[in-house]
Structure 1
Amino acid sequence: MERTASVNADPTEQPGSHGRCVKWRNWIGFWLLGLCNNFAYVVMLSAAHDILEKQESKNSTSSASDKLTVDFRARNSSNSSGYDCSPVTTGAVLLADILPTLIIKLFAPFVIHKVPYGFRVLFCVAMAAASFLLVSFSSAVWISLVGVIFASISSGLGELSFLSFSVFFDRNVLEGWGSGTGAAGVAGSFLYSGLIQAGLSPQITLCIMLVVPFAMVVR
């Protein structure tokens, strides 16, 4: 992406097709940044139920005979419930995915300018990648929640960093960023659901999605 000559001002018009190409390239660049930045955040929301369900299956201590008895009673009971109960609700995952981002947006603007852009981007990529790995290979609910928190930190810090970086470019890159973050909501949820419906496990699906955080470094 190419920077404009001035900051916080309308850039000078660049004549010919070269100027249009530069604007479109910057627009697409910020679109991709918005998509990659919010991708892990959206995936954790989509995978909230699967995250808890995986831990419940690992921590189940009921015997095979107990399970057969429960299944038999469930099939023959006219009052059986179709609800999937869990000691830890999906609300815990949603809070872990939202609160860190909210806290970062409230307090980070006071100190974020002291941290170089390059370090911030690498930190966001590391947090997003760690979130996928922790949730994929976790052995306890709290480890999965830590992974979700990492995804939230990556999204919140990335949004502050990339939006503040946009002052060096034409103002239309904000349109690209907004469109990219919206596309992340659609792409993240549909891609996760599609891979799960295709027969892949949540663990393999999250590992495949590791390619998305590293796309920010390539960009």
Structure 2
Amino acid sequence: MPREAAISTVESYQMDTRSRSTLGRGLDEEGESDGGTLVWESAPLTEPVSSDKDQTRNLRLKLGISFFLFGLINNVLYVIILSAALDLVPPSTPKGIIAFCNIFPALIAKVGWPYVLKGQIRYARRLVGCCLLSVLGMVVVALFDSLFMRLLGISLASFSSGLGELTFLQLSTTYPSGVAGHGIGYFASGTGAAGLVGALIWWEVRGLGVRTGVGLSAVMPFIIPITYFFLLPRRGVFTGTAEVASSPALYVPLPDSDVTTEEEEEDRVAVPGEAIIVALSLDDKWRLVKPLLVNYMLPLFCVYTFEYTINQGIAPTLLYPVPDPSSYPLLSKIIHSIRDYYPLWQLVYQTTVFLSRSSISLGISALPRRLLPLPSIIQFFILCILGLESARGIFGDLEGRSVSFVFALISLEGICGGMAYVNVYHQINQERSDPGADPERAKQEREFKIGSVGFADSLGILCASIVAVPTEVELCKAQVRRGKTLCQGL
């Protein structure tokens, strides 16, 4: 090689090395390297990253709205049916049968489905199935007047709601950890909002009658597939430039191999010898469940058992004389008869549940794992104190203090219940498998773990519905023995 050509080649190599070194130092100084595999792109150094930040913000907003709608629509039919219980069954039929048919099929779905399912979850097919099942259930309730058919329709809608909640929680685990908790927070917020929205919807449409009112609500489940197909961002978009919007535009992390879209999974052509079908066995699932029993399931079961025992067994007996406008001007505008107290307690409860379930989506830090039992412990003391107030009357004849005291405890009850729900699922969602594990197997383990916990809250509600009936009867008897007969007038 001629001497001049050799010198030119060396100088060119040195300039190229200095340029790459400068870029590397700039990346280190910015602190943006994530340790992943990097690819070189030919984007200019002066390319702004604000558009990437805006894209990330828009994607997270769409994700949050989608999961909020999932939680809202999935649970709102449950609330509408409970709100319409008095209108759905004859006066001689115990209203508890509505609560039973509204929760037991959901419990069956949450207990059985994670263990029956094998292999990959086809989210699109399952959500469309849940939508059609909910619509069918509400249509049956609306079209038939017989008690059996209405209970059948309620059971169908309940099973769909339980399977839907399980599915949305599992769907959140398929997103990268940076946005998965974001989805869980908004889903929990939507489930909390369902209590208020469902009660409001039935209040507005009940005048139209059961057939028209319930029939109109049967349209709402169609929002779920529409949201899934047209609003929810695909999982793969969060592994591209959107996740590293603040990084220099020259570097983009390669997407993880386990974050493929459902469409890619379904369209993939199997090549003999290329892939092995992955499915968790019952032994694998039991191994995954055992650590969850005490850490997650027990706190969730306890808090829901105490919470719904209060709502169904104690709250109906927290009755006081109609307030005098001269002594209680504000309360007298809300309470016009003793029958208004129970709806008031439910309104307070649903409002605080919504606020507490929205805590993570509002930016409040999640509870650490060691504090997850705290809401259930507080809930137990609330149960005992409200039971004592109902049976004995802590403040005697001072109704104003009693109402304020109950108002505060019911608010705390809703906060504890909502905090337990959103934090338990948030903590499970953030658990990740070993980095060296098979990607598909790790994905199925995440989906199974969060899905297997769902039965704990439904089982707590079912147990509370059984305990609540004798609790209400005994508390009413205790009030009568001390001369307070308001519960007998309902």
CA–CA separation in structure 1 for the residues paired with 2:218 and 2:110: 25
Cα 1:183–1:164, aligned 2, differ >3 Å: closer, same or farther?
same
Q: Report % sequence identity.
A: 32
Secondary structure (helix, strand or coil) at the match of 2:173 reads: helix
Among residues 97, 100, 103, which one is paired with 1:92 in the alignment?
97
Matched with 1:216 is 224
CA–CA separation in structure 2 for the residues paired with 1:106 and 1:213: 23
Amino acid at match of 1:112: L
Cα 1:21–1:113, aligned 2, differ >3 Å: closer, same or farther?
farther
How far apart are residue 101 of structure 1 and its match?
1.0
Amino acid at match of 1:154: S
What TM-score does the superposition give when structure 1 sets the normalisation length?
0.74
Matched with 2:143 is 137
For residues 87-126 of structure 1, the aligned pairs below 5 Å read 88-114=93-119, 116-126=122-132
Secondary structure (helix, strand or coil) at the match of 2:208 reads: coil
How far apart are residue 141 of structure 1 and its match?
0.3
How far apart are residue 190 of structure 1 and its match?
1.1
Residue 108 of structure 2 contacts residue 159 of structure 2 at CA under 8 Å; is this kept in 1? no
Amino acid at match of 1:215: I
Cα 1:202–1:109, aligned 2, differ >3 Å: closer, same or farther?
same
CA–CA separation in structure 2 for the residues paired with 1:217 and 1:15: 28
How far apart are residue 92 of structure 1 and its match?
0.8
The structure with more radius of gyration: 2
**Unmatched segments (≥5 aa) in structure 1:** 1-13, 54-84
How far apart are residue 48 of structure 1 and its match?
1.2
Among residues 55, 59, 64, which one is paired with 1:27 in the alignment?
64
Among residues 55, 62, 67, which one is paired with 1:18 in the alignment?
55
CA–CA separation in structure 1 for the residues paired with 2:199 and 2:145: 24
Among residues 147, 160, 182, which one is paired with 1:154 in the alignment?
160
CA–CA separation in structure 2 for the residues paired with 1:189 and 1:91: 18
CA–CA separation in structure 1 for the residues paired with 2:109 and 2:164: 10
Secondary structure (helix, strand or coil) at the match of 2:158 reads: helix
Cα 1:193–1:218, aligned 2, differ >3 Å: closer, same or farther?
same
Tell me which moved more, 94-103 or 109-118.
109-118
CA–CA separation in structure 2 for the residues paired with 1:121 and 1:185: 22
How far apart are residue 111 of structure 1 and its match?
2.2
How far apart are residue 112 of structure 1 and its match?
3.2
Matched with 2:84 is 47
Computed over aligned residues only, the root mean square deviation of the Cα atoms, in angstroms, reads 1.6
Q: Deviations over 1:156-178 (max 9, x none)?
A: 00011111011123121101000
Q: Deviations over 1:160-215 (max 9, x none)?
A: 1111011123121101000001111110111111222xx31121111111221011
How far apart are residue 15 of structure 1 and its match?
4.6
How far apart are residue 113 of structure 1 and its match?
4.7
Matched with 1:76 is none
Residue 130 of structure 2 contacts residue 164 of structure 2 at CA under 8 Å; is this kept in 1? yes
Matched with 1:182 is 192
What TM-score does the superposition give when structure 2 sets the normalisation length?
0.34
Q: Deviations over 1:68-100 (max 9, x none)?
A: xxxxxxxxxxxxxxxxx50x2111111000111
Secondary structure (helix, strand or coil) at the match of 1:34 reads: helix
CA–CA separation in structure 2 for the residues paired with 1:119 and 1:111: 16
CA–CA separation in structure 2 for the residues paired with 1:39 and 1:128: 11
**Unmatched segments (≥5 aa) in structure 2:** 1-50, 228-490
Count of matched residue positions in the alignment of Structure 1 and Structure 2: 172
Secondary structure (helix, strand or coil) at the match of 1:168 reads: coil
Matched with 2:202 is 192
Greater relative contact order (Cα < 8 A, sep 6+): 1
CA–CA separation in structure 1 for the residues paired with 2:64 and 2:218: 24
Matched with 1:203 is 211
Cα 1:113–1:185, aligned 2, differ >3 Å: closer, same or farther?
farther
Matched with 2:367 is none
